[in-house]
Structure 1
């Protein structure tokens, strides 16, 4: 585990998960500035902290006037500065710095100087070890300054051996606890950072999936609109060309149907593409009351276009009709549109559309009776090869928990859509009957 630039874990400096800074006022600002500075100038910060520790040690040594220890002379200055200098590298090699510092400290005590002078530096080096190493190496390293402390108490004839023993046990234990707590906090911060990154990637993946699903939905809608309307246009244009010289009124009627179908297709496509181009009222306007949004309310218009193309269509409605939710309503309309377009492209025979409103589901069935029942032969639309219409119907129904089944016999095809629905609310008459 990497260690912070000032001896603290990396979560307190640059490069690790950042914990919240103290809240409020100048202290929060100062903390943030110090953290940024430590990331840009690590060695300068380490040197400043070592110099501060050395200043404390020198102040204790110079200010000692008890006369119980050797005077703070030149060698004392040199040893104290040398020990302080080792603290600059404590972040790079914490255990080595602790051992080297304690060796200099022990030599300092052996020469008869005040043993407390360099104790603050030893505690700082021990904290660095506890903040950067597991519990086992930390406990082993803590025994070194504790022994030096006890060694100073044994040489101090004026002091209490019990007090030296207590200090050699208590202070290293407290420092190890604080350093280990900082290390555990840093590890939890790193785990939290990893989880945060994973959640960020999951959100991005969900966003990509949502975009992909939306593109797929728009592609299906465009397929349904283009395939249906162009099929009608192709049939009507072929009919107009076929009867242009022999039956001009029929040709004009076919061309009128082409014009209306193209206009309706453009309106629907502008509405769908408005989702991709927000902020343009001329594109994103809601459907007018005269032309509602695609749904079962527009089934009559759909059937009229199919009948105008020369396909006889019969409608059967069973059960109690009721409005479906917007999603299933659009799904049912697109199903009928795609199924009738397939009849127009591949069969053209008499077709029965059944809309069955059951209490817990809605079933739409499109059954054609094959080409041999066509009232007259119409020009076949161009480009009516195999497509992905059935796959699109299945996927669209699956979004709402529904199914699509296709059956074929010697007469033709039957395509059936089943969508689960909520049961209708009980009528007042049923309430009265129960009472």
Structure 2
């Protein structure tokens, strides 16, 4: 059994009825039909006033009066197409109607409808000029009226056009604001779609960078260890077994990282925080990274300066991936002694990887089978996400790659291996 809907709060407006919505839709699809209906209703009111006049002070509402009133009402059908022309034409027919001696009030409602249309579609200047036409005709009718007061006619000639002009101008301003809000809503919708598309693209790029870093690094280590095991398989079995063990451990770590990275992309899984996933790589795991590099035969020396502290998660991962990529490049292209420097300053963190150039070994070792990629470009793009920079220097004794990340001053010392 479905629960009953909650009652509508008193401050919320009542939704428009089905009939009102259909009427507005019909008017939008067939504007001539709506204008014709309003013109017919205005003409009916004018004809009722003329036929009901029985004081004998004005000319009898004969066939000519009926025809002129119907002709004046007929002009209102085109009021939205040419509002100024319709108003002037209506006032001309109304003036002739008054001059012939008919009741001056007969066609007054039609003139106000025409003036409202001008005010709702034209700026304030043309509206004020147009309001003078019915005001003059109203005053002219008051002068010829043998029953009314000239003061009352003068007051009405000023009051009614002013009120109708104000209402029409308010409707025009409201319509313009509605169009502006509609345009702003459409722009916000497009901006929201663009932001969503950009967020998806950035997330794909981030995942691609992480996959590149993980796969390139671990496969380089596996390739060197497997080549070493193949090289000494017959002459030095213990060394071959140690190399194969390092390769297996590296593959397992790579699979664990990839499983934790891609697990959040599977639909239907709970919150990633609730999964039993490995911790996010960071500077706290720098020793494991250096051990894998040293296991390949590349000597790595670590220098830490400043006051070590824990970095925020984003810069921490950025620094780890930088070191991973830089050491992988050393492994692939240099293979010589390397120095890793971690400099902790109050306002920045700097990581530097400097190798000693290509190593010359007597034994011919198999080279890693990793293709050229966009490692340096990826490191620079990742650093820009955190307002950092990556600098590359090439000297006679090798390459030096430096990452600089701005950081906040530390709150308290934290031990980082």
Question: TM class by shorter-chain length?
Answer: 0.7 to 0.9
Please give the TM-score of this superposition, normalised by the length of structure 1.
0.84
Alignment of 1:307-326 (within 5 A): 307-326=294-313
* 8 Å CA contact 1:287, 1:293 repeated in 2: no
1:192 aligns with 2:178: no
CA RMSD of aligned residues (A): 2.7
Residue 118 of structure 1 and its aligned partner are, at CA, apart by: 1.0
Cα-to-partner distance string for 1:9-47 (whole Å, 9 max, x where unaligned): xxxxxxxxxxxxx95236676654543332233222222
1:413 aligns with 2:399: yes
Counterpart in 2 of 1:82?
71
Moved more, 293-302 or 141-150: 141-150
1:382 aligns with 2:379: no
Residue 77 of structure 1 and its aligned partner are, at CA, apart by: 2.3
Please give the TM-score of this superposition, normalised by the length of structure 2.
0.87
* 8 Å CA contact 2:216, 2:370 repeated in 1: no
1:265 aligns with 2:254: yes
> 1:283 and 1:199 mapped to 2: Cα distance?
31
Counterpart in 2 of 1:371?
358
1:331 aligns with 2:296: no
Match of 1:104 among 93, 102, 116: 93
Cα-to-partner distance string for 1:206-226 (whole Å, 9 max, x where unaligned): 333322222222221111111
1:394 aligns with 2:380: yes
Residue 336 of structure 1 and its aligned partner are, at CA, apart by: 0.8
Match of 2:224 among 210, 222, 235: 235
- The aligned length equals 403
> 1:375 and 1:322 mapped to 2: Cα distance?
42
Counterpart in 2 of 1:431?
none
Alignment of 1:1-400 (within 5 A): 24-25=13-14, 32-280=21-269, 286=275, 288=277, 291-372=278-359, 378-385=365-372, 387-400=373-386
1:404 aligns with 2:393: no
Residue 193 of structure 1 and its aligned partner are, at CA, apart by: 3.1
Moved more, 180-189 or 80-89: 180-189
Distance 1:154 1:361, change over 3 A: closer
Q: Aligned to 1:372, what secondary structure does the other structure show?
A: coil
Residue 136 of structure 1 and its aligned partner are, at CA, apart by: 3.1
Distance 1:420 1:373, change over 3 A: farther
> 1:389 and 1:415 mapped to 2: Cα distance?
12
Counterpart in 1 of 2:3?
none
> 2:66 and 2:154 mapped to 1: Cα distance?
27
* 8 Å CA contact 2:340, 2:351 repeated in 1: yes
Cα-to-partner distance string for 1:283-342 (whole Å, 9 max, x where unaligned): 986455xx4221112212211211222212222333443221101110111011001100
Q: Aligned to 1:365, what secondary structure does the other structure show?
A: strand
Cα-to-partner distance string for 1:178-228 (whole Å, 9 max, x where unaligned): 222222332333333333333333333333332222222222111111111
> 2:407 and 2:369 mapped to 1: Cα distance?
38
Distance 1:24 1:372, change over 3 A: closer
> 2:196 and 2:232 mapped to 1: Cα distance?
53
> 2:321 and 2:311 mapped to 1: Cα distance?
14
Distance 1:420 1:35, change over 3 A: same
> 2:45 and 2:358 mapped to 1: Cα distance?
103
Q: Aligned to 1:71, what secondary structure does the other structure show?
A: coil
Cα-to-partner distance string for 1:215-267 (whole Å, 9 max, x where unaligned): 22222111111111111122122222222333333333323322222222222
Structure 2 segments unaligned to the other structure (5+ residues): 1-10
Counterpart in 2 of 1:424?
410
Cα-to-partner distance string for 1:378-427 (whole Å, 9 max, x where unaligned): 32112454x32112112222222222222333222222222222222257
Moved more, 401-410 or 120-129: 401-410
